[in-house]
Homo-oligomer: A and B are copies of this chain.
Amino acid sequence: MKKSLLALALLGAFAGVAQAQTAVQIYGNVDAGLVKRSDQTLAIGKRANNTLGFKGTEELGDGLKAIFQLEIRYEPDTGTLESVTRPLFQGQSRVGLQGDFGMVRLGRGLTAFQETSTGFEPFHGIPSPVGFQTDLTVAGYTSDPLSPAGNSNNRFSNAVFYNSNVFGGGFQVNLTVGTKEANSGVAIVGRGTAAAPQYAANAEASTTPISFSGTYKNGPVGAMVAYEKNAVETRLWSIGGSLMATPDLKLMATYQRADKTHTTPFNWAALGIQGPKTKAWVLGANYTMGAGKFLAGYGQKSPDATAKTQQFSLGYEYSLSKRTYLYVDASNKKANTVVATPAQSVTIRTYDIGLNHSF
């Protein structure tokens, strides 16, 4: 009797789904904690991105699949989207096909480089100031400078995303190509003037934005090479490597250079502004001990003619389950001030403690 009631309940529950021949998977995570920056009041904040997503896969036969993913990003401390100018699906909005040829998707998402580089960063790519991902790991580079103010720094909108399958015993190539279409972006003065900026508001790209990464992964060894060129012709090169030195210890390193010559005034030194070329490197380690994991990283960023940025971070994650962990971090970052002469720097210490729950 109970059995048949269950069967009925399931049938009822799936009447709609069966009709649509699919199941949409809802996923996401909530990450909230206490954050104390040495220059700010105690706050409730986050360490990782907060997501609520919808995704699905449809088998089309012969190994072909249709795939989609829509991902909301939000701030749990205030319930808002990450910013009023950020899209509802800031995380990603993509649809595509997957098969023997790899995966092709259209829409908006992390560029090939940005997605790949998180695997070589000791705080697994979190945007928190205790991590290195959003500044040193990208050498201060921005993937999408012609988007609305406050928009994402590491995504392409209006793009085609290609990921190869793994081949040759561990190789994979990833390619993102954007269009030149305008997207309500902010003006960029660059080599122009405030009255006649190099890129006007809502400008089209002057080149096709492109991002490439190639990775190799075999046993304990991982490696990456990447190149990206954004809509205002800033270029980024990056290489990275990782090694599982022991089953519990992962070591990782990246080195990256950004070249924004295209938008830097010729007389940048006389203007006292940062030069066109930035170099950065990050060393990191993750050490697993039972349910706990230690994270450590040190890195430097050296723009021309300004003080060096130096960051050292320590973290600890304690897993309550595969989906839920507590964390505590401490970070010290001596950051350069871009426009001061002589070059100066300011030191910010960041501490956080919180909870990350995936669903």
Stretch at the interface among A63-71, A164-172, A261-269: A63-71
Q: Across the two chains, which residue of chain B brings its CB closest to A107?
A: B76
- A157, CB-defined interface residue at 8 Å: yes
Q: Across the two chains, which residue of chain B brings its CB closest to A181?
A: B43
Q: Across the two chains, which residue of chain B brings its CB closest to A15?
A: B23
Question: Interface readout for A144-187 with B: 1 if CB under 8 Å, 0 if not?
Answer: 00000000000001111000000000000000000111010000
Residues of B within 8 A of A323 (CB): 20-22, 58, 66
Besides the contacts A44-B160, A52-B54, A58-B359, what 15 more A-B pairs have beta carbons closer than 8 Å?
A: A13-B14, A20-B27, A20-B358, A20-B359, A31-B95, A41-B181, A43-B181, A44-B158, A44-B159, A66-B355, A70-B74, A70-B79, A74-B93, A77-B158, A79-B157
Question: Interface readout for A23-45 with B: 1 if CB under 8 Å, 0 if not?
Answer: 11111101111000000111110
B14 near A10 (CB under 8 angstroms)?
yes
CB within 8 Å of B: which residues of A? Answer: 6-7, 9-18, 20-28, 30-33, 40-44, 52, 54-58, 60-61, 64, 66-68, 70, 72, 74-81, 87-97, 106-108, 157-160, 179-181, 183, 204, 320-324, 354-355, 357-359
Q: Across the two chains, which residue of chain B brings its CB closest to A324?
A: B66
Find the residue from A11, A91, A160, A357 having the highest chain B CB count within 10 A: A357
Q: With A22-B323, A96-B355 in contact, is A78–B157 under 8 Å at CB?
A: yes
Q: With A68-B357, A321-B58 in contact, is A77–B22 under 8 Å at CB?
A: no
Contact of A16 among B18, B23, B97, B321 (CB under 8 A): B23
Judged by DSSP, the binding face of A is strand
- Copies of this protein in the assembly total 3
- 24 A–B contact pairs at CB < 8 A? A12-B23, A15-B23, A20-B323, A22-B323, A22-B359, A24-B26, A31-B95, A42-B179, A43-B158, A44-B106, A44-B107, A44-B158, A44-B160, A56-B359, A58-B321, A58-B324, A60-B321, A66-B320, A72-B88, A77-B93, A77-B108, A78-B108, A79-B93, A96-B355
Q: Across the two chains, which residue of chain B brings its CB closest to A182?
A: B41
What's the Cα separation between A96 and B77 when bound, in Å?
Answer: 12
Q: With A9-B18, A106-B354, A323-B66 in contact, is A183–B78 under 8 Å at CB?
A: yes
Contact of A95 among B22, B76, B181, B204 (CB under 8 A): B76
Question: Distance (Å) between the CB of A343 and the closest chain B CB?
Answer: 30
Q: With A13-B23, A21-B322 in contact, is A359–B179 under 8 Å at CB?
A: no
Residues of B within 8 A of A74 (CB): 70, 88-89, 93
Residues of B within 8 A of A320 (CB): 60, 64, 66
Question: Distance (Å) between the CB of A208 and the closest chain B CB?
Answer: 9
B25 near A17 (CB under 8 angstroms)?
yes
